[in-house]
Amino acid sequence: MSDSARHGNPRPQGSRIDPYFDQYAQRARGMVASEIRALFAVTARPEIVSLAGGSPYVTALPLDVVGDMVGDLVAGQGSVALQYCTAQGDPGLREKICEVMSLEGIKAHPDDVVVTVGSQQALDLITRIFVDPGDVVLAEAPSYVGALGSFAAYQADVVHVQMDDDGLIPEALAETIQRLTSAGRTMKFLYTVPNYQNPAGVTLAAGRRHRILEICRAAGLLVIEDNPYGLLGFDGEPPRALRADDPDGVVYLGTFSKTFAPGVRVGWAAAPSAIRDKLVLAAESAVLCHSSFSQLAVREYLATQPWREQVKAFRELYRQRRDTMLDALSAQMPEGCRWTSPAGGFYVWLRLPDGINSKAMLPRAVSSRVAYVPGTGFYADGSGTDHVRLSYCFPEPDRIREGVRRLAQVIEAEIDLRATFGSVPSLGGPGSDTPGPGDL
Q: Is 56 in the site for ligand PLP (CB under 6 A)?
A: no
65, 305 contact by CB (below 8 A)? yes
Those residues whose C-beta lies under 8 Å from the C-beta of residue 49, and which sit 6 or more positions away, are 369, 370, 371, 395, 399, 400, 402, 403, 406
Q: Is 195 in the site for ligand PLP (CB under 6 A)?
A: no
- Which residue among 50, 150, 192, 198 contacts ligand PLP (CB under 6 A)? 198
CB of 265 to ligand PLP, least distance (A): 7
Q: Which of 378, 105, 357 is nearest to 238 (CA)?
A: 105
Burial class (CB in 10 A: 0-12, 13-18, 19+), 357: buried
CB of 125 to ligand PLP, least distance (A): 12
For 389, the 3-state DSSP assignment is: strand
Q: Is 340 in the site for ligand PLP (CB under 6 A)?
A: no
Q: Which of 357, 340, 369 is nearest to 167 (CA)?
A: 340
Our CB check for ligand PLP shows the closer of 50 and 257 to be 257
Distance CA(31)–CA(149), nearest Å, equals 8
Sign of torsion over alpha carbons 202, 207, 213, 219? negative
By rule CB under 6 A, what count of residues binds ligand PLP? 15
- Which residue among 12, 142, 262, 342 contacts ligand PLP (CB under 6 A)? 262
Q: Is 427 in the site for ligand PLP (CB under 6 A)?
A: no
Q: SS3 breakdown of the chain: % helix, strand, coil, rounded to 5?
A: 45, 15, 40
347, 196 contact by CB (below 8 A)? yes
Our CB check for ligand PLP shows the closer of 329 and 393 to be 393
- Which residue among 43, 120, 291, 358 contacts ligand PLP (CB under 6 A)? 120
Measured from each CB, the residue nearest to ligand PLP is 118
Indicate the helix (H) or strand (E) that contains 358: helix 358-367
CB of 12 to ligand PLP, least distance (A): 28
Which stretch in 30-38, 83-91, 113-121, 288-296 sits in contact with ligand PLP by CB under 6 A? Answer: 113-121
Three-state secondary structure along 170-194?
Answer: HHHHHHHHHHHHHCCCCEEEEEECC
Our CB check for ligand PLP shows the closer of 119 and 357 to be 119
CB of 67 to ligand PLP, least distance (A): 21
- What's CA 157's distance to the chain center, in Å? 18
CB of 119 to ligand PLP, least distance (A): 4
For 139, the 3-state DSSP assignment is: strand
- Encoded one letter per residue, x for contact with ligand PLP by CB under 6 A and - for no contact, window 217-246 reads ---------x-x------------------
CB of 377 to ligand PLP, least distance (A): 12
Q: Is 344 in the site for ligand PLP (CB under 6 A)?
A: no
- The backbone torsions φ and ψ at residue 394, rounded to the nearest 5 degrees and listed phi first, read -100, -45
- Which residue among 267, 344, 375, 384 contacts ligand PLP (CB under 6 A)? 267
Q: Is 34 in the site for ligand PLP (CB under 6 A)?
A: no
For 199, the 3-state DSSP assignment is: coil
Our CB check for ligand PLP shows the closer of 148 and 326 to be 148
Query: One-letter amino acid identity for 172?
Result: A
- Encoded one letter per residue, x for contact with ligand PLP by CB under 6 A and - for no contact, window 143-162 reads -x-x----------------
Which stretch in 57-65, 118-126, 170-178, 418-426 sits in contact with ligand PLP by CB under 6 A? Answer: 118-126
- Which residue among 43, 119, 192, 434 contacts ligand PLP (CB under 6 A)? 119
Per-residue DSSP letter, 239: P
- Chain residues that interact with ligand PLP, rule: CB under 6 A: 54, 118-120, 144, 146, 193, 198, 226, 228, 255, 257, 262, 267, 440
